Amino acid sequence: MPTTSQFGYAPEYSGVTPEGLAEGAKNVGLTSVVTAAGALEGATQITPAIVLSGLVLHDPQGDVNAQLPDAADLAAALGVATVSGRSVRFIHRNTADAAETITVTAGTGVTISGTATIAQNNSKEWLLVFDSPTAYTAYSVGSQVF
């Protein structure tokens, strides 16, 4: 594998371009943790800020529905002119101390692909991929037990 490229730096697939970091590399190291506790009993809204934090620790205090942000709201929160083809990843962790389940539901303009439930002591990674400023698909990438 070459250690330099025609541009004089690490190979193109390293995330670096002549202009700087590649689009997909801009979120490296920008994860923060949001804690969602007892006040979120019953149905709740996952805000764009929660999604963009990268990690939510959710103690549901009973079985709850958690609705993903409407597509237009999340697109606006990204603060970019074009969202089509962009994606956002985040992890939703169920920190319940009893057998309580979180069911993720779709906001306006959202399609869920895959299993949408998160059992106690499990986390689920989501990949949200925009089709347009008013539509995205939320792919359930998988669950992990912690």
Give per-residue pLDDT as tens, 88-144.
999 999 999 999 999 999 999 999 999 999 999 999 999 999 999 999 999 999 899
Which CATH number is associated with domain 30-145? 2.60.120
Q: Which residues contact 39 (CB under 8 A, 6 or more apart)?
A: none
- The better pLDDT of the pair 18, 51 is held by 51
Q: Tell me the C-alpha distance between 91 and 3, whole Å.
A: 34
> Can you give the pLDDT at residue 3?
47
Check if the beta carbon of residue 73 is closer than 8 Å to that of residue 67.
no
pTM greater than the 0.95 cutoff: no
Mean predicted lDDT score pLDDT of the chain:
80
> Can you give the pLDDT at residue 43?
63
Q: Tell me the C-alpha distance between 43 and 4, whole Å.
A: 52
Q: Tell me the C-alpha distance between 40 and 102, whole Å.
A: 11
